[in-house]
Amino acid sequence: MTVTTYQVEGMTCGHCVSSVTAEVGKVAGVSEVQVDLASKAVTVTSAAPLDDTLVLAAVTEAGYELAGRADRVMLAQAGGSCCGSGGCH
């Protein structure tokens, strides 16, 4: 599983959050989208790393601007931890 956080500019309200959530949620492989309006962070969970250009296209389709990728964390399936041991950091 991969969790990637993007920064999105231009969001100002709950409707913005809904639009970004809906469009990014349509990207193949996306299993969950969480948007934090205050920090402008969009956290995307997927089974495998996503092509950032697909996320960019989805954000653009929603009417906003992708400022960049903040981070990407790959989590092992076993135990849901980044190292697979279940007892991470």
Tens of pLDDT along the chain (89 residues) come to: 999 999 999 999 999 999 999 999 999 999 999 999 999 999 999 999 999 999 999 999 999 999 877 766 665 544 444 444 444 43
> Under a CB-based contact definition with an 8 Å cutoff, are residues 64 and 9 in contact?
yes
Which amino acid type is present at position 19?
Answer: S
Return the bridge partners of 73, or none: 3
* Strand duo 30-36 + 41-46: pairing: antiparallel
Other CB atoms within a 10 A radius of the CB of residue 6 amount to: 24
Task: Kindly report the length of the chain.
Answer: 89
CA distance 22 to 86: 32
